[in-house]
Structures are given as structure tokens and as C-alpha cells.
Amino acid sequence: MRITGTTRLAGIMGWPVAHSRSPVLHGFWLDETGIDGAYLPLPVQPQHIEQALRALPILGFRGCNLTIPHKRAALSVVDRVEPMARRIGAINTIVIRSDGSIEGRNTDAFGFCENLFDAVPDWQPGAGPAVILGAGGAARAIVAALADARVSEIRIVNRTLARAETLAHDLSTSEVRISIHSWDEAGAALRHAGLLVNATSLGMAGEPALRLDLSSLPPATPVVDIVYVPLETDLLAAARRRGHPVVDGLGMLLHQGRPGFEAWFGVPVRVTDKLRDAILATMAPER
Ligand code: NAP
């Protein structure tokens, strides 16, 4: 990469930000496309998020990604919030518009769907109820994505039922019924399910294990784990042993980056095996 006087700028704001793989992801696409652009880590403390976002158009940035702890706080700073980000209640992508205004978007729902359809192209939204483990930020994006894909019933299993109730209240529509279940009811919730997604942090390196009896899940139902460290979680290993189609979380991470890149640098990009390998190489010690 060479920096010139006309290099287009983007980056990722987070605190901390050093662990983020987004610079490797966007750096890969910049190299591949040969675009005169740069994607920088931007360590921004929580109390400075408003100043930092307001500085983007002044400094000539095309936009940026947001990660922990800025995704919710940015909602009250930006000039415009895309409807999907408003529904999810979080912003992960900032685009500076031609008039200098700041737009907030959320690309996690897009990333989830692209990854699912890439990995299991014959999955049908009408296959049966989708069971989502978790009710945090990622679960909200996945529920919004599945509702838009015309899944008509979604079962949320979560430890904190109040959080699941808020999700159901915010994201239910006349076309999607969202029910809430405790972990004790998880086995029953899996009956007749057409999709199972882990959107909790359970099973992630350093977090408690995810223990779930899959025996009531129909045999052909795809199992998705959005945790990507490790890539093959215990849930995916158990599902694979039972013959379910399995989908790991790395593809979601890669696909969610595409809309930002395309908005900032004006070129479509793809998720390829070469890109997966480049990102996996950065994860080697944890796999
Ligand atoms: P979050 O908002 O903090 O939500 C965490 C979820 O995990 C909540 O539902 C929480 O339940 C549950 N949980 C955590 N510890 C638990 C425990 N000990 N027992 C039972 N439930 C527990 O986090 P998030 O942003 O949604 O992210 C969740 C996971 O998805 C993380 O591992 C993250 O790395 C991953 N992720 C992956 C992608 C991707 O692109 N692949 C994108 C986003 C997130 P309570 O509500 O009861 O606390």
C-alpha cells in the first residue's frame, strides 16, 4: 500500500481497537482491488466518540466502522440512522455523505444472511421456526435479518428473560411471531425448528461452554454459530457429528464488512477462500 495525496481514508473506531481484524480485512480488499485507499485503527475512548465522529468529515474520511463500546452511543451522534440500524439499536458502519453529513448503518444483518445463504444455499425461510440463542446486539441483528427474510416464527432462548422481552417487543411485526424461552425450555424450543443459531458468547475462547442437547432438533436443520474464535465451536462439532449442515461465524464477520468498503471506496468486493485464509492466519494461536 502506498499513501498518496489523494488516498481515500476509512478506519475502525473502538476502545480498545488493537484486537480488531477489520484492518486486515479491509487491507486485503484494498490490496486486491488496487484502490488508492487506507483503513486505519482509530483508538477512541468512549467519552470522545462524538468529537471523533464529528471530525471524520472535517478530516476528509469517507467513513469508518464502529466496534465496542461505540455501537449504541453513536446512535445519538450521527445525523441520520438507516432504518435497519434503528431497528437493531446499534451502528457498526459510518458513511460520510456528499454533503458532509454522517450516516449510521448496521451491516450485521446483511453479513449474517449472506453467510447463511453462501454456506447453505438451499435453506428456506419457510423451513420452520428459527431458534436464536441469545438476545444481545448480535441476536437483534439476526432476528431483524430473519424477519426480513420472511421467517414467520422466531424462538429466543436467553438467560435474562427481560432482555429477550425487549428484543421481542422491539422487533416483532405482524409477519413474525417472536416467543421467549428460558434455557430449561431450550430442548422443547428446538422441536420442528428450521434453523438454530448461537448468538451468545457461550463457547467463545475464554467464555463458558455452550451445553445444549440437540436430540430434539430435526436432522436436516442447519446450525449456525456466530462465535468465530474458535472457528469450530463445541456446538458446531456436536451438530456436525449428528449430520446437520453447519455454518461458522467467520463468514458473517467478513460479509458484514462489504457494504462499508463498497460505500467508502466505490468498488464491490467478495468473500473468497483466499480472504478467509488471510484472516485465519491472524487467528492461528487461538484456533
Ligand atoms: P452481547 O450483546 O454482550 O450479548 C451476549 C449474549 O450472550 C446475551 O444473550 C447473554 O445473555 C449471553 N450470555 C453471555 N454469557 C452468558 C452465560 N454465562 N450464560 C448464558 N448466556 C450468556 O454480545 P453480542 O455483541 O451480541 O455478541 C455475542 C457473540 O457473538 C460474541 O461472541 C461476539 O464475538 C459474536 N459476534 C460475532 C459476529 C460475527 O460477525 N461473526 C458479530 C457480532 C457478534 P444475557 O442477556 O442473559 O446476558
Residue 150 pLDDT more than 50?
yes
DSSP state of 61: B
Q: Is the dihedral of CA 97, 100, 101, 106 positive or negative?
A: positive
Structure-block grid coordinates of residue 274: 483466499
| Ligand 1 neighbour 252 (Cβ under 6 A) | yes
Q: How confident is the model at residue 287 (pLDDT cuts 50, 70, 90)?
A: very low
Q: How far is the CA of 204 from the centre of ligand 1 (A)?
A: 9
- Decide: 80 and 102 in contact? Cβ < 8 Å: yes
Ligand 1 center to residue 61 CA distance, Å?
31
Give DSSP secondary structure letters for 108-144: HHHHHHHHHHHH-TT--GGGS-EEEE--SHHHHHHHH
- Is 274 marked active-site? no
Residue of 200, 212, 226, 276 to test ligand 1 pocket, by largest number of atoms within 8 Å of CB:
200
Query: Which residue owns the Cα nearest ligand 1 atom 31?
Result: 201
Band (166; pLDDT cuts 50, 70, 90)? very high
* CB-ligand 1 contact for 112 (6 Å cutoff): no
253 lines ligand 1 (CB under 6 A): yes
Upper half-sphere CA count for residue 137 (Cβ side, 13 Å): 15
Q: Report which protein residue has its CA nearest ligand 1's atom 16.
A: 202
Tell me the pLDDT of the chain averaged across its residues.
96
Catalytic residue among 62, 70, 71, 155: 71
**What is the pLDDT, as a whole number, of residue 200?**
97
pLDDT digit string, tens, across residues 63-75: 999 999 999 999 9
The SS3 of residue 236 is helix
Average pLDDT over every residue of 9-26? 96
Cα–Cα distance between 120 and 222 in angstroms, integer? 8
For 271-286, the pLDDT digits (tens) are 999 999 999 999 865 5
* pLDDT score at 2: 84
- How far, in Å, from the CA of 203 to the mean position of ligand 1? 10
Residue 284, pLDDT score: 62
Percent of the chain with pLDDT over 70: 98
Strand ordering across the sheet containing 246-247: 177-181, 153-157, 130-133, 195-198, 223-225, 246-247
Distances (CA, A) of 254 to 15, 53, 162: 21, 24, 31
pLDDT tens-place string over residues 218-265:
999 999 999 999 999 999 999 999 999 999 999 999 999 999 999 999
Comparing CA positions, the residue from 284, 286, 272 lying closest to residue 25 is 272
